[in-house]
Amino acid sequence: MENLPGTTPPRPLVVGIGGTGRPGSATERALKAALSAAETAGTEVRLFGGQFLAGLPMFVPGRGVQGAAVAELVDAVGQANGVLLASPSYHGGVSALVKNGLDHLEHLADRTRPYLDGRAVGSIVTAAGWQTGGSTLTALRSVVHALRGWPTPLGITINTAEPVPGDGGQAARERCEVQLCTIGWQVAEFAVRAASSRVTAGAPR
Ligand SMILES: Cc1cc2nc3c(=O)[nH]c(=O)nc-3n(C[C@H](O)[C@H](O)[C@H](O)COP(=O)(O)O)c2cc1C
């Protein structure tokens, strides 16, 4: 797309999807931290958090776009150059709230860039312990693959259980912050490139 003389090109868009309906959701706070890093890196960001996702209807195949909120989500992801996802580990897997939001992306199937094609996608998982963070992160990244996205090199699991006094909790929080900044930056860096150069020659139909 060409820009008019004297106008600045729109910034690449990074969309964040995730959180829980719980006020103060740690998952959503982690997502916001990563989004903020993507914004610092020069992208526009848009958040679809837990409250928004909780207002979406359950995806029903064949029913078309089920309302204005679904259309808003689908259009934003359709325009996005990068995506950040954040889910709590619920019973060892991705939460239904987040998965339902992702199921609605089925409406991107027929776009020129279907689903998450051509977009870097960073995945963040929170869990109240060490056991299921890894399996949930693997599941979330498998969803990204299925949707043709490009998982970032870094994926993050955060143990939100209370740190034991004296165990270096502050240092752990600082390391976590660095990781969230890194994943936000990785998505933004790829998003900026994706927005400026897309190879269409030879692309399979
Ligand atoms: C229904 C439910 C199921 C959960 N299942 C697990 C689980 O299998 N493994 C785990 O480590 N934590 C589990 N948790 C804890 C949450 O993953 C953890 O507290 C998370 O950080 C909550 O995110 P939030 O602060 O954004 O609500 C579960 C919590 C709920 C409410």
DSSP state of 106: G
Q: Which fold has domain 13-194?
A: Rossmann fold (3.40.50)
- Statement: residue 201 has pLDDT above 80: no
- Statement: residue 205 has pLDDT above 70: no
Total-model pTM? 0.94
Take residue 112 and report the two structure tokens written for it. 């020129």
Measure 66 CA to ligand 1 centroid, in angstroms: 28
- Statement: residue 69 has pLDDT above 50: yes
Alpha helices in 104-168 (DSSP H): 133-146
Nearest CA, atom 1, ligand 1? 90
User: Mean of the pLDDT values across residues 123-145?
Assistant: 97
Take residue 55 and report the two structure tokens written for it. 């207002």
Take residue 57 and report the two structure tokens written for it. 């209807």
- The β-bridge partners of 83 are 15, 121
Q: For residue 35, name the pLDDT band (cuts at 50, 70, 90).
A: very high
- Statement: residue 138 has pLDDT above 60: yes
Q: For residue 8, name the pLDDT band (cuts at 50, 70, 90).
A: confident
Q: How far, in Å, are 24, 96, 168, 202 from residue 151 at the CA level?
A: 27, 21, 30, 23
Q: Which of 52, 124, 126 to mutate to test the pocket of ligand 1 (most atoms within 8 A of CB)?
A: 126
Nearest CA, atom 8, ligand 1? 91
Per-residue confidence (pLDDT) for residue 198, from 0 to 100? 72
| CA atoms of 84 and 151, how far apart (whole Å) | 10
- Looking at the chain, the whole-number percentage of residues with pLDDT higher than 70 is 93
Of 172, 137, 135, 162, nearest to 152 (Cα)? 137
Q: Which of 52, 87, 91, 156 to mutate to test the pocket of ligand 1 (most atoms within 8 A of CB)?
A: 91
> How much is the mean pLDDT over the chain?
93
pLDDT digits (tens, 9 = 90+) for 89-106: 999 999 999 999 999 999
Q: What is the domain partition of the chain in residue ranges?
A: 13-194
